[in-house]
Amino acid sequence: MTRTDQATEDRAVTLVDDRAHAWRPEAARLRFREGLSGPTAGVAAGHTQANLISVPADWAYEMLLFCTRNPRACPVLDVTDAGAWTTPLADGADLRTDLPRYRVWRHGELVAEPTDTRAYWRDDLVSFLIGCSFTFEWALSAAGVPIRHVEQGRNVPMYVTSRQCRPAGRLHGPMVVSMRQVPPRHLSAAIRETSLLPAVHGGPVHCGVPSALGITDLARPDFGDAVEPEPDDIPVFWACGVTAQAAVVASRPPFALTHAPGRMFLTDARDEQYRVV
């Protein structure tokens, strides 16, 4: 399957069922385990979504240190024991099978994008679940902020920036950001609401000028889909958990498993649990 075919397939399965927002997270995970694939924006609305990255145990401390030093991009929600594929964030879930699509990396090179990683699993893998900006979209919606990629049935656009993260041992790399087009009258609400959710990236890292982040063309995201703005929309950028994947590419560990961008792990946790009062 070509990348174009895969993108078409992924988008189709997301749009076919407009009831996905009402799925329970365990029902969504079961569908993904059975082979359903597609972006998870809006799926199981109200439940926290997470990025996944699994690295060999001898890289795990450096990954934890990298996340600790770069908390806006990589806020850690859970870390497993070596070889474990379960998490208290989702009862009965299997991190090897319950995401819509994965990525397999060897020495920083993408070698496969399966929907089931049991054939690749290793007993020394330590898995990190990292907060995802899809989680704060419920707060944006509740505040009346339109979410263009959801309206247009697309994956959120993500961009590799010119900002370098603080390194940790062998791990280093650029910050990745997600972008949402926000009408000016909703900008203050978007900043306020997301800033109250630091465990899922918090407030924006930049508003308005893509070139300030080294982004040259919003119509050509590095991950996800381009989104059509309304005439007065302002591009607003949040740190993104795909930053951990960018560190894998830059640092070239011998092996890693990650989620495919925009295809997240659905937890049982409620979004409001991560809101700072």
Kindly list the structural domains of the chain, giving each domain's residue range(s) and its CATH number in brackets, ordered by start: 3-129+251-269 (3.40.1640.10), 135-239 (3.30.2040.10)
Residues of the chain predicted below pLDDT 50: 1-16
Q: What is the pLDDT of residue 17?
A: 55
Q: What is the pLDDT of residue 8?
A: 37
SS3 content of the chain, % helix, strand, coil (to 5): 30, 25, 45
Q: How high does pLDDT run on average in the chain?
A: 91
- The per-residue pLDDT for range 257-269, each reduced to its tens digit, is 999 998 999 999 9
Q: What is the pLDDT of residue 85?
A: 97
Q: For the residues of 69-114, what is the DSSP string, one character each?
A: H-TTT--EEEEPPTT---BTTBTT--TTTSSS-EEEEETTEEEE--
Q: What tokens were used for 121?
A: 């699993």
Q: How many CB atoms lie within 10 A of CB 262?
A: 27
